[in-house]
Amino acid sequence: MMAARLTPLAQSLPASVPFVGPEAAERARGAGFTARLGANENVFGPSPKAIAAMETAAGDIWKYADPESHDLVTALAAHHGVAPANVMVGEGIDGLLGYLVRLYVGPGDAVVTSEGAYPTFNYHVAGYGGTLHKVPYRGDHEDPEALLTKAAEVGAKLVYLANPDNPMGTWHAGSVIEDMVARLPEGSLLVLDEAYVEMAPEGAVPRIAIDHPGVLRMRTFSKAYGMAGARVGYAIGAAEQIEAFHKVRNHFGMNRAAQAGALAALGDQAYLADVLSRIAAAREEIARIAAENGLSALPSATNFVTVDCGRDGDFARAVLAGLVARGIFVRMPFVAPQDRAIRISCGTAADLAAFAEALPSALAETAGA
């Protein structure tokens, strides 16, 4: 019997994932990691109120989740001072990016991003047949001017930018993003990924009218709120853009317990403030460890620190391999010249002590190879 045939587009795609998870890396090395510092997870975890809410909701897990996420959407709208019609909840930013690309990108449609920026966005664009156009980073920052120029040149449907940035942890002032929005080419939509926005310094968050038709902002409970495994993200934008998600989204894709946890986490801003202070302290410790070993840490507005290894990508990859061999899971930017660095997620005191112990020998081994 002949097997069902994939579409030509599906046949052309690699069977790969944007990121190799730490679990896969543990299976490959045949041992667990001492410190999990590579996935930008918030090791400090969610609010105890969120955990309690999810535990309570587990008793009703036989029920489908509210397909409208009504309570969470209403709370998010109040939190941001917008109407519920301006908020869409989805299965993490990754899930929402998939829906967004499905809405706007058909085969051959132009999409602009930065070389080395968040690869999951690229994965979705490729999956719907879009044509990716990439511009280089400038000074370890995404380059708004180059993104705008390329978008105008190719007639981009979507322009992707993360602020603060992943994978570098750098950021632009809000005024820079506001200027970018003002100069978007006609017909282009700026996909503004703000996954790390709660950690951004004052002045980094742009002021954009909620009904602006050229911008859609993406936020998440995975990072500052410590709920990466729950998969809860949300989009903020003009009501017409938000309504369009209903055309393609999985209406029963949300997890009932995750909805309850996110609602409780949003209501516990005191816990969030405490976590943000712990993240800031961990960033300082990572920078100290880097300096102690002759490396330099880039300023970061995220829950990770990019550490410049001072040489080329081959050297940085060897350092990363040395750390992984010593039980420290870390990642690195994929594209030169940013691949001269490794990226260390904020961790507990024990995590960072393990990193500090492993780094000198990993560097020495690499330098002597």
Q: What is the mean pLDDT of residues 127-135?
A: 98
Q: Are residues 232 and 87 part of one domain? A: yes
Q: Is the pLDDT of residue 176 over 90?
A: yes
Length of the chain: 369
The CA distance from 323 to 96, in Å, is: 34
For residue 232, tell me if it sits in a domain: yes
Q: Are residues 248 and 282 part of one domain? A: no
Q: What is the mean pLDDT of residues 21-42?
A: 94
Q: Are strands 341-345 and 215-220 parallel, antiparallel or unpaired?
A: unpaired
Q: Are residues 296 and 257 part of one domain? A: no
Place 369 in a pLDDT band, splitting at 50, 70 and 90: low
Q: What is the DSSP letter of 30?
A: T
The CA distance from 306 to 319, in Å, is: 13
Query: Lowest-pLDDT range, 25-29, 184-188, 212-216?
Result: 25-29
For residue 6, tell me if it sits in a domain: no
In the numeric block, the tokens 């989740």 are attached to 65
Domain that holds residue 341: 19-45+270-368
List beta partners, residue 193: 162, 218
Q: What is the mean pLDDT of residues 68-83?
A: 98
For residue 297, tell me if it sits in a domain: yes
**pLDDT value, residue 1:** 64
The CA-atom distances, in angstroms, between 313 and each of 25, 185, 237, 298, 337 are 20, 35, 38, 16, 7
Give residues with Cβ within 8 angstroms of 304, minimum separation 6: 40, 169, 343, 344, 345, 346
Residue 46: both structure tokens together: 């969610």
For residue 3, tell me if it sits in a domain: no
Average pLDDT, the chain: 96
- Of the candidates 246, 267, 288, which is a domain's last residue? 267
Alpha-carbon Rg for the chain in angstroms: 21
Q: Are residues 106 and 24 part of one domain? A: no
For residue 159, tell me if it sits in a domain: yes
Q: What is the mean pLDDT of residues 92-118?
A: 98
Q: Are residues 236 and 280 part of one domain? A: no
Nearest by Cα to 249 from 91, 51, 137, 38: 91
Assign residue 353 the CATH number of its domain.
3.90.1150.10
Per-residue pLDDT tens over the stretch 197-247 = 999 999 999 999 999 999 999 999 999 999 999 999 999 999 999 999 999
Q: Are residues 108 and 72 part of one domain? A: yes
SS3 sequence of 338-364:
HHHEEEEECCCHHHHHHHHHHHHHHHH
Q: What is the mean pLDDT of residues 299-319?
A: 97
- Of the candidates 248, 267, 286, which is a domain's last residue? 267
The CA distance from 73 to 75, in Å, is: 5
Q: Are residues 194 and 54 part of one domain? A: yes
- Of the candidates 267, 284, 299, which is a domain's last residue? 267
For residue 9, tell me if it sits in a domain: no
Nearest by Cα to 353 from 25, 29, 37: 37
For residue 155, tell me if it sits in a domain: yes
Place 3 in a pLDDT band, splitting at 50, 70 and 90: confident
In the numeric block, the tokens 């069902």 are attached to 4
In the numeric block, the tokens 């780094």 are attached to 359
Q: Are residues 284 and 149 part of one domain? A: no
Domain count, the chain: 2
Q: What is the DSSP letter of 65?
A: P
Per-residue pLDDT tens over the stretch 272-283 = 999 999 999 999
Q: Are residues 362 and 292 part of one domain? A: yes
Q: Are residues 170 and 26 part of one domain? A: no
Q: Are residues 180 and 53 part of one domain? A: yes
**pLDDT value, residue 311:** 96
Q: Are residues 253 and 165 part of one domain? A: yes
Amino acid identity, position 333: P
For residue 217, tell me if it sits in a domain: yes
